[in-house]
Structure 1
């Protein structure tokens, strides 16, 4: 990802809290900044939280043409510059984590810590790319059905019964995503490179939260890779959407780790 050379339009954003420590939240695929509803009230009051809607999600429109993860990173960075954010903690859930790493590739000096929240630095495997290609075809034919069947699979097994209301709420947010926005984002995720080196260069400034029942990320494999590194890792009893399933645990970890 090369530095921005021309004017890049900012994304839709909002700010929560009046603290002096900037924390930037990047949501995942088929989410929006609304997805942080359960987490934000649990953050330490010293945080000022910047919530950004990624392209084609929430209130950020889908631009014409194809997007890459790197281009999304440019849009996020331009948005932060508009707000006046210079040094910040960066937290990315799933696709948001991919974008966070793209930003870190160029602007690591401005990042205090980077948190992969149920995300990975790995590129898609050939098998994963095939799954995404099939997903694009399903989205084109019946986007509502894609959401109805796909969103529950991102929650841990216990949560599917205990948190039916939250799962339904996550579906409603997903349905607000434009079909084109979802397809464009899926293709961008397929094309992203491996950013293991970028992640590990962050040393102890890399924080990784993983779920034991995550159907989208191979948590065990990632933990084994990170064990000999300086990265700070936490394994939670949840699925891919731990920020919705276990917001108290996530907030407790983030508050402790980011305020060190």
Structure 2
């Protein structure tokens, strides 16, 4: 079951949160974007209010769940924008649905799979959470998502996101760590998608390196780099990224 919030009228737009996040992260964006679109903010299974009934899951399985959910709710040819993990899900959905999507966007995300170093980090995190639990992990996970110079400025937002992250189920966190670790290369999906494509990257992003983001640029309609921004541009550069989304959505395609 996919729990979601729906706002506005117009062409459908689906916003997908990242790892240890939930639909609440899009509140400011959804209110503005709902002035021109029907905006759906979802909780991925295992996060927020959407339950995960199993101990493991693949991104392909998540994509099938979202496709079924779209059919149930008669959501036709949406634009899908995903943050981080949400971008990985967006690409799995694009692979599954192809022209069934109007446009896609990667918000601090990538079409590349984890490299060997990242896989090791995922495995260490899995071991840590099994031993120490989700709360202790979230305390150390959220602050570095923001660039170093923003961690004081956005202290309240970091505390808010930390509290939301601690609502994530241990089962869901462990399942998605493995799913992200094992996801396949979807650069060909990105290259060959026929609809509009948006990428927003943070120059100081420690989770998705800017060098990798730049390799997507030749295959991207709208590519933007945010200076002095880490992994959380929707907060670190709220108005700028909202405007970029609004302009992207206005373009025909």
CA contact (8 A) 2:33 2:246 kept: yes
Residue 96 (1) aligns with residue 69 (2)? no
Residue 256 (1) aligns with residue 226 (2)? no
CA contact (8 A) 2:104 2:195 kept: no
Counterpart CA distance in 1 for 2:220 and 2:146 is 29
> CA deviation digits over 1:184-208, x for unaligned, max 9?
0100111110000000112561110
Where do 5+ consecutive residues of structure 2 fail to align? none
User: Following TM superposition, by how much is the alpha carbon of 1:52 offset from its aligned partner in structure 2, in angstroms?
Assistant: 0.9
> CA deviation digits over 1:18-66, x for unaligned, max 9?
x211100111000010111232233261111011110110001121231
Counterpart CA distance in 2 for 1:35 and 1:227 is 26
Counterpart of 2:226?
Answer: 236
Counterpart CA distance in 1 for 2:176 and 2:92 is 14
Counterpart of 1:68?
Answer: 58
> CA deviation digits over 1:7-28, x for unaligned, max 9?
xxx41111022x2111001110
Where do 5+ consecutive residues of structure 1 fail to align? 1-9
User: Following TM superposition, by how much is the alpha carbon of 1:138 offset from its aligned partner in structure 2, in angstroms?
Assistant: 1.2
Out of 72, 84, 98, the residue aligned to residue 74 of structure 2 is 84
User: Following TM superposition, by how much is the alpha carbon of 1:230 offset from its aligned partner in structure 2, in angstroms?
Assistant: 4.3
Counterpart of 2:135?
Answer: 144
User: Following TM superposition, by how much is the alpha carbon of 1:172 offset from its aligned partner in structure 2, in angstroms?
Assistant: 0.7
Residue 24 (1) aligns with residue 44 (2)? no
Which has the bigger relative contact order, CA under 8 A and spacing at least 6? 1
How many pairs were matched up?
Answer: 249
CA contact (8 A) 1:39 1:244 kept: no
User: Following TM superposition, by how much is the alpha carbon of 1:157 offset from its aligned partner in structure 2, in angstroms?
Assistant: 1.7
CA RMSD of aligned residues (A): 1.3
What TM-score comes out, normalization by structure 1 length?
Answer: 0.92
